[in-house]
Chain A
Amino acid sequence: MLSKKAWMGACALAVLAFTTSGALAQTIGFSQIGSESGWRAAETTLTRQEAEKRGIDLKFADAQQKQENQIKALRSFIAQGVDAILIAPVVATGWDSVLEEAKEAEIPVVLLDRQVDSSDDLYLTAVGSDLHHEGKVAGDWLVGAVGDKPCNVVELQGTTGSSPAIKRKAGFEEGIAGHDNIKIVRSQTGDFTRTKGKEVMESFLKAENGGKSICALYAHNDDMAVGAIQAIKEAGLKPGEDILIVSIDAVPDIFQAMAAGEANATVELTPNMAGPAFDALAAYLKDGTEPPKFIQTESKLYTQADDPQAVYEAKKDLGY
Chain B
Amino acid sequence: MNARTLPLLATMVIFLAAYAVCYVQFPAMLSTRVIGNLLTDNAFLGIVAVGMTFVILSGGIDLSVGSVIAFSGVFIAVLLRDTGLHPLVVFAMLLVLTTLFGAAMGAIIHHLEMPPFIVTLAGMFLARGMAYVLSIDSVPITHAFYDQLQGLYYVMPGKGRLTLIGAIMLAVFVAGMLVAHRTRFGTNVYALGGGVQTARLMGVPVQRTTIRIYALSGFLAGLSGIVFSIYTSAGYSLATVGVELDAIAAVVIGGTLLTGGSGFVAGTLIGVLIMGLIQTYIIFDGTLSSWWTKIVIGILLFAFIVLQKGLVWLTSQRGLAMRGGPGGTR
Contact = CB atoms under 8 A, between A and B. Distances in A.
A and B held together in a complex: yes
Interface stretch (B1-9, B105-113, B191-199, B276-284): B276-284
A292 interface: no
Contacts of B138: 91-94
Contact of B283 (A58, A77, A94): A77
B141 to A, nearest CB: 8
B290 A58 contact: no
A75 B37 contact: yes
A78 B28 CA distance: 11
18 contacts: A60-B286, A61-B283, A61-B290, A64-B291, A67-B232, A68-B44, A68-B239, A68-B240, A69-B290, A76-B279, A76-B284, A79-B28, A79-B33, A79-B34, A79-B280, A80-B283, A92-B140, A93-B234
B41 A68 contact: yes
Nearest to B21: A14
Nearest to A58: B286
**In the complex, the 7 A-B pairs of residues with the closest C-beta atoms, listed nearest first:** A59-B286, A94-B232, A93-B234, A94-B234, A79-B33, A76-B283, A93-B140
A75 B40 contact: yes
A21 B22 CA distance: 12
Instruction: With a 10 A CB-CB cut-off, give which of A58, A80, A105 has the most chain B CB atoms.
Output: A80
Given A18-B24, A72-B41, 17 more contacts: A14-B21, A57-B286, A59-B283, A60-B286, A61-B290, A62-B291, A64-B290, A64-B291, A68-B231, A69-B279, A72-B279, A73-B283, A79-B28, A79-B37, A80-B284, A94-B232, A97-B233
A63 B283 CA distance: 10
Given A67-B239, A71-B41, A93-B140, A80 B232 contact: no
Interface in B1-39: 21, 24-26, 28, 31, 33-34, 37
Nearest to B149: A97
Contacts of A29: 283, 286
B240 A94 contact: no
Contacts of A18: 24-25
Instruction: With a 10 A CB-CB cut-off, give which of B44, B150, B282 has the most chain A CB atoms.
Output: B282
Given A14-B25, A21-B26, A71-B231, A79 B31 contact: yes
Nearest to B161: A101
A61 to B, nearest CB: 5
A192 to B, nearest CB: 18
A71 B232 contact: yes
A93 B287 contact: no
A2 B324 CA distance: 41
A14 B161 CA distance: 30
Instruction: With a 10 A CB-CB cut-off, give which of B228, B234, B283, B291 has the most chain A CB atoms.
Output: B283
Interface of B: 21, 24-26, 28, 31, 33-34, 37, 40-41, 44, 138-140, 150, 159-161, 228, 231-234, 236, 239-241, 276, 279-280, 282-287, 289-291
Interface residues of A, number: 36
A36 interface: no
Interface string A14-33: 10011001000000010000
Given A94-B233, A97-B233, A75 B41 contact: yes
Contacts, number: 103
Contacts of B232: 67-68, 71, 93-94
Contact of A61 (B37, B40, B236, B286): B286
Interface of A: 14, 17-18, 21, 29, 57-64, 66-69, 71-73, 75-81, 91-94, 96-97, 101, 105, 117
B28 A80 contact: yes
Contacts of B25: 14, 17-18, 21
Contacts of A68: 41, 44, 228, 231-232, 239-240
A93 B34 contact: no
Contacts of A14: 21, 24-25
Nearest to B25: A17
Nearest to A91: B138
A56 B47 CA distance: 39
B234 A91 contact: yes
A60 B292 CA distance: 13
Contacts of B150: 96-97
Contacts of B34: 76, 79
A263 to B, nearest CB: 34
A262 B199 CA distance: 75
Nearest to A79: B33
Contact of A80 (B26, B40, B41, B160): B26
Nearest to B35: A79
Contacts of B24: 14, 18
B326 to A, nearest CB: 36
Contacts of B140: 92-94, 117
B239 A59 contact: no
A100 to B, nearest CB: 9
B286 A67 contact: no
A60 B287 contact: yes
Contacts of A61: 282-283, 286, 290
Given A60-B287, A61-B282, A72 B233 contact: no
A81 B28 contact: yes
A301 B25 CA distance: 47
Given A72-B41, A79-B31, A63 B290 contact: yes
A63 B291 CA distance: 9
Contacts of A71: 41, 231-232
A66 B282 CA distance: 16
Contacts of B139: 93
A291 to B, nearest CB: 24
A72 B293 CA distance: 13
Nearest to A13: B25
Nearest to B41: A72
